[in-house]
Chain A
Amino acid sequence: MAQLLTMVVQRLALGLLTLFVVSLIIFLGVELLPGDLAEAILGQAATPDTVAAFRKELKLDLPPHERYFDWLFGILQGDLGRSLANKREISELMGARLGNTLFLAALAAVIAVPLAVFLGILAALYRNSIFDRAINIVTLTSISFPEFFIAYILILFLAVNAGWFPSIANVSGELPFWERVYRCILPALTLTLVCVAHMMRMTRAAIINLLASPYIEMANLKGLKRARIIMRHALPNALAPIINVVVINLAYLVVGVVIVEVVFVYPGMGQLLVDSVSKRDIPVVQSSSLFFAVAYILLNLFADLMAIVTNPRLLHPR
C-alpha cells in the first residue's frame, strides 16, 4: 500500500508542478515578445506618451517576477484582472461562459462515452467481421474530418433542410434545462462524432491487446462462458486502459470545443478566447488559456491516478 501511496503522491506533486510551470509559461510567453508589449499592441503610430501610460496600465514598469506573483495570487483569489478591449472584469466576462462551455462538453461526453466504449468493445469482440471493418472505415473517415466540416454538414441537413434544430446555439442565463439541451444538440453532436471515433478506436485496440493475453486463452481452456471471460477476466484489466482513453478524449473535448463554439456562435470560453486572440486582448487570452490548460492537466492527472489505482500489482504489493 505504501508504494501505491507514494506513487499517487508523486503523481499529484508532478501535476502541481506542471500547473505551476504552465502558469509561468502562459505569463512569461508575453515577455518573449520581441520589443515592447505596449508598442506591439498600440502599433507604430502611438506616441511615446500613450505607450508610457499603457505600460503603466499593464504594470510593465514592474519587474517580471513581481508581476507574475501579483497575477498568480490575484487568480487564486478570483481576481483575473481587466480586459484591455473593454476594461471589464475578466471574471465577469468568463462567469457565464465557463458554465456554458462545461455544459456543452458534459453533454457531448454523456452521449459519446457510453456509445464509444460500447461500440469499441463490440468491434474488438467481433474483430475482422464485416461490422468491425465497416466501423474501421467509418471512424477513420470521421477522425479525418475537420470539426467545422462535420458541423456544417449537420447544420445543412438537420437545421437548414430538415429544420429540426437551430443552427445557432443561442443560450442565455435562465433557459429551462431541456430547452438548453435542445439548443445545444448540434454542437454536442459535432463534438460527439469527432470524439467517438477516436475513443472507439482506442478502446478497440486496448481490448484486442488484452484478449491476446495468455490468461484469456487460459480462461477459454478452463471452459468458462464467453460472458464470464469478458466480464471477469477481460474487463477488470481493461478498466485502466479504457479509463485512460475516456479521460484523454474528455480532455480533447474541452479543447475541441473552441472551433465548435465558433461555428455555432455559442457563448462559451472558446468563443471568448478566439475573440480575444483576434483583438490581442492579452489578459483575457492568458486567463482563458489558463482555464483550458488547467482543465486539460487535471483530466490527464485523473487518468494517470486511475491507472495507478487500478493496477493490481500496486494494489497488492508483494
Chain B
Amino acid sequence: MERELARERTLLRRRVSVAAVLTVLVVVSSLPHMLGGGHHSFLPLWFTSPWTQLILTTPVLFWCGRDFFTGAVSAFRQHSADMNTLVAAGTGIAYLTSLFSTLFPQVLIAEGLPADVYFETAAVIFTLVLLGRLLEARARGQTSEAIRRLLQLQPPTARVLRDGQPIEIPVSQVMVGDLVQVRPGEKIPVDGVVSEGSSWVEESMLTGEPTPVAKAAGDAVIGASMNRSGSFTFRVSRVGGDTVLAQIVELVRQAQSSRTQVQRLADQVVGWFVPVVIALAITAFVVWFLISGNAVLAMLFLVSVLVIACPCTLGLATPTSIMVASGKGAENGLIFRSAEALETAGKLRTIVLDKTGTLTRGQPEVTDFERLPGGVLPAGTLLALTAALESRSEHPLAEAITTYARSQLKDSELPAVEGFEAVAGRGVQGSIAGQQVRVGTPRWFEELGIDTAALKPLVERLEAAACSVAAVVVDGRIEACFGVADPLKTSSAAAVAALRRLGLQVVMLSGDARRTAEVVAAQVGIERVIAEVRPADKSSVIRKLQEQGEGPVAMVGDGINDAPALAAADVGIAMGTGTDVAIAASDITLISGNLAGVPAAIELSRTAMANIRQNLVFAFAYNVAGIPIAAGLLFPLTGWLLSPMIAGAAMAFSSVSVVSNALRLRSFHPARLPLPTT
C-alpha cells in the first residue's frame, strides 16, 4: 500500500514536471495574441502559430492528464460523475473548441468571431490540477502518519533463549511461551511477563504516560515500549495481531473508517454535486449565448463553471480531520473507537466517574496501624498474629492487611492457627498458641460486649479519612486497629478540576456508604455524589441522568464491572490497564488508566470538531461563492469575468487547503496536568 502510494507520487511528479514545461511553452507561444494580436519580432512566426500550440498541448492532456479522461469515462459508464468528470469535460471542451478553430478558422471568421485558440487555458488548468493533486497526495500521506509511526515502533528482531542460548530471530518467528532477553536501551519486541531481572521501561509511545514504569518479575511488559537502564528476561504472552500494539493500530484504523453525523450530510451533498454543477454549466452556456450570441464567450463560462467546482473539498473535509485526530489520540494513549465517539465527546455535558479503580487505585491498602492504650503485646507479635489469621481469609481488606503485616515482619514464618472461622460481615477468629485472636469490625466487638471505648476516637478519625477500620482483639482485650483505604490516584483531583474547567458537570458513582463516598468526593473536588449504588444498577443511574436532560452523559469506569453502564452512556470511557486495549463496551479507551486522559480526550474532540466545521464551512462557501462567479453572475454588475485558468487554480488549491487545515491538528497537545500519575 505504502509502496503503491509512493509510486503514484513519483509518477505524478514526473507528469507535473512535463506538463509544467510544455505549459510554459504554450503560454509563451500564445503571448503575442494575448497582448492584443500582431506579430512580435522576438518570437518566430511558426512558434506562435495555433498548430504549435496544438502540438504542445496535446501531450499535456493526453499523457500527463490521461487518468482524468480514463477515470471520467469509466465513471460515466457506471452512471457516476466525479472530479475527473468535471476536469475532463472542462478542458476537453476548451481543447475541442480550439482544435476546431485551428482546423477551420474561416468558419469562425465568417461568423464575425476571431479564430482564437484556448490551448493555453486547457494546458494551464491541467498543470494546476495535477500540481494540486500532487500536493494533496503528499499531505494526505501525512494524515496516516500516526499509524505508520505506531507500526514502526516494533523492533524487527528479538533475542530469544533457545536451549539456554540467546539467538536473534525475526519478531514474526517469536512464539508464545518463548523467553526473550532485553538489554539496556533496547526495545521490547512483543508482549510478555517479566520472569527475571528488573528495569525501568518507557511506555509513553503507547500509553501517553511520560514517566517510566518500574518492571520486576511478574510485571507485564508491552511490545514496542523502550527499556531504559536494566536488563531482564520475559516470557512471551502475546504475538502478532494479539499484541497491544497491533490492537491499537487495528482500533485506530477502525475509527478512521467510520464516519461522523456531519459527514453523512456532506456525503449526501457530494452525491448530487457533480450532476448539478454540469447542469449549471450548461445553463450558463445557454444564458450567455442567448444574451450575447457569442458562442466562444459562452463556452468560456461553461468551462469556468466546470473547472471551479470542487466536490473533493466536500468529500475530504471530515475524513482527513478524523484521520489526523484519531492518530493524535493514539499518540496520547487515547483510543477512539469510532468517529462518532470523537464527535460526541466534545458535546458532553455530564461526566460520571466510577469511584473504585477510576478515581482510586482499586487496590485497598493499610494506611494506619495503631496500638491502643490498653494493649500489652508488642507490635511485632500483633502483626504476626494478624497475618496468620488474615492470610486464611479471602476478603479484599484481609488481603491488604496481610500484605501490610508481611511487609513489616522480618520472619516470613507465620504461627499456626487452630479453629479458624470467618464470620460473614464481621471478621475472622481462631486460636494461636493458646491465645484467642479476633480481627474484625468495631461493631462486632461491641456486639460481643468487649470494651471498645478506646477505639471510638480512632474510628471517627479514620472514617473521616474514608478508611475502613479493622480491630485486633486478643483474649478479649483490644490491642490495635488497622485503617484500610483505597487510595486516590494522584492524578484524580487535577483531572476533576480540568473537567470542571471544560464546563462539565462531574458526578461520582460509588457502591460505598454515603459518608465514605462523600469524603472521597470532597478530596477530589466533586460535589455531586451518587452513593450506595449496586454494580447492576449503575446503568440505570446513567439512563436516569439522560432522561433528566443532563446528557450527553459519559461514563468513566473499568471495562469489566462497568460494561453495562459504559454501554448505556452516550460515550463510554474505559480505563485500560496498559495491557488491555480492546475493551468492547467502550467508545474511548484510555490505555494507561490515567484519569487525565479524559479531559485530554474531550479537548481533542472539541479541537477536531472545530477543525471539521472550519473545513465544511470553507468547502461549502468556496463552492457556493465560486460557481456563481464562474458562471458570470457578477459580470453585469462589475464587468468581471473569471478566467478559466484562475478557476482551475482556485479548484486545485481549495482541496489542498482543506487537507492542510486538517494537518494543523497534528500540533494538538492536551493541556498537561500539574501532577504526575501513579
Specify whether A and B are partners: no
B interface with A by C-beta (< 8 Å): none
A interface with B by C-beta (< 8 Å): none
